[in-house]
Structure 1
């Protein structure tokens, strides 16, 4: 199982650090034949790469913190079995997981609230997740009610109990949901491509997607005119595939760096968060 995950990634690593023209000869599997940073230089030479990194970091940090906190607050309110209308709210939330309004109504909604071409389109629409709410709510229900009762005797209100007791006890599920949310924000290229027109507001994933498509289009154009541009074609060491591999490394690297810090919470967070009474 581990090899099925590691070996493809090693192949991506080898192709990313090998000149694309040389890689087309084949024979590269888990280690570069010729070490080169040409693919990464192409990725990082984009004029607005710095702003794209900034946008991605902003949306990942702000979007993750806000989404996890607000979803946890909703889960805490809905965990009580004595909440009036609690079952109705949960059925309504579950309903939103099954049906979608479609991309055109969604675009019209964002445009009507002035979120298109706005940096907050990366944060506000993702503040709530029905699936995450169900997972966190289930985890909260495993916390013994006597802890809340003792806190109320000590004079704590609902918000104080949530912040000082529930959240500290829920670190495993919060870490897991936080990482899933962060990965979703970091990898999302769709929002920047469809709802943003300003180039300086596009995140890294969208920028790299556009760069990859441009590189493949340029390569196809040169291939079609290979007779007149043979020398130029030979000098180009970057191919669409090699650029794709470098793009994967750039996008995945931050997640790989963060993962070890929350990995210890994964088993406990997923297991307890999925328990049903």
Structure 2
């Protein structure tokens, strides 16, 4: 018994230590970015800032919101995240539930066709031509319609739905429930953990996506916040590279100014982009724990 207790205590210490190290590896970089975003850009050039700002200021955030189309980009990001996540999760859930119905005609062929699309990709140019032919380029719907479908999420949802007690669903059918009522009143309420997971994955994908705004949209008014951030970083890095290759006192003075303001502005913009996800995550996290019990009900 003594050896068993000592082994249990040792394993708890090791697990706790690993969890603490993992948490610190996530929290410390975030605190460093936050400290730089709240620190004066001129002072940040001296270095030595770790977890707390040395010269506290909110000027970096004020400067970020002064940039052209930033608030408009924020609206685009919120719009596509809310609408794309709502419709995407809803349609994928319905598709996944339909694939669990054994009497669905051609169910095996439909499942194979959906899985087959995971194996190949047409590439960026054919994808752009298809979007252009459909009239989605230069439109806000290019962020939403192509993302309504995700094979991975459909398969995850189908697997979760298959683990639900079949006796409950069959009893509902005997009582006269239609498939849509079974889906909305029984399947969805019993699948909150996996729905929360898919919702979080989909929302984060929409919020962090800069690719579509860079390659499929030219109008500055249609670019999401992530694209604006990426383009700002690209411009600053390109300008810094040009000045590094230049000579003269004026070039070095401009380079120093860009280095001072650029890093702080980047950190402030990064905080603005990731803050909504950080705020939303704790409200969904509890469903991940509940997901462990999915399918554990014995019939």
TM (norm. structure 1) is: 0.91
> Cα 1:222–1:270, aligned 2, differ >3 Å: closer, same or farther?
farther
Query: Given the alignment, which residue of 237, 250, 261 partners 1:228?
Result: 250
Q: CA deviation at 1:19?
A: 2.6
Between structure 1 and structure 2, the one with the greater Rg is: 2
Match of 1:128, SS state, is: coil
> Cα 1:44–1:101, aligned 2, differ >3 Å: closer, same or farther?
same
Match of 1:70 in 2: 91
The alignment status of 1:267 with 2:273, answered yes or no, reads: no
| Structure 1 stretch displaced more, 220-229 or 174-183 | 220-229
| Structure 1 stretch displaced more, 226-235 or 73-82 | 226-235
Q: CA deviation at 1:272?
A: 4.4
Deviations 1:111-149 (A, max 9, x none): 000000011001000001100001111110111122222
> Cα 1:83–1:236, aligned 2, differ >3 Å: closer, same or farther?
closer
Aligned residues: 273
CA distance, structure 2, for counterparts of residue 264 and residue 9 of structure 1: 22
Unpaired stretches in structure 2, ≥5 consecutive residues: 1-21
Contact 2:115/2:151 (<8 A) preserved: yes
Contact 1:52/1:203 (<8 A) preserved: yes
> Cα 1:218–1:37, aligned 2, differ >3 Å: closer, same or farther?
farther
TM (norm. structure 2) is: 0.84
Q: CA deviation at 1:242?
A: 2.5
Contact 1:208/1:247 (<8 A) preserved: yes
Q: Which has the higher contact order (CA 8 A, sep 6+)?
A: 1
Query: Given the alignment, which residue of 147, 160, 166 partners 1:139?
Result: 160
1:123-272 matches, cutoff 5 A? 123-223=144-244, 224-225=246-247, 227-229=249-251, 238-269=260-291, 272=294
Q: CA deviation at 1:164?
A: 1.2
Unpaired stretches in structure 1, ≥5 consecutive residues: none
| Structure 1 stretch displaced more, 212-221 or 183-192 | 212-221
1:46-65 matches, cutoff 5 A? 46-65=67-86
CA distance, structure 2, for counterparts of residue 125 and residue 90 of structure 1: 20
Contact 1:219/1:239 (<8 A) preserved: no
CA distance, structure 1, for counterparts of residue 247 and residue 44 of structure 2: 22
| Structure 1 stretch displaced more, 232-241 or 24-33 | 232-241
Match of 2:140 in 1: 119
Q: RMSD between aligned alpha carbons?
A: 2.1
Match of 1:14 in 2: 35
Match of 1:28, SS state, is: coil
Q: CA deviation at 1:82?
A: 4.5
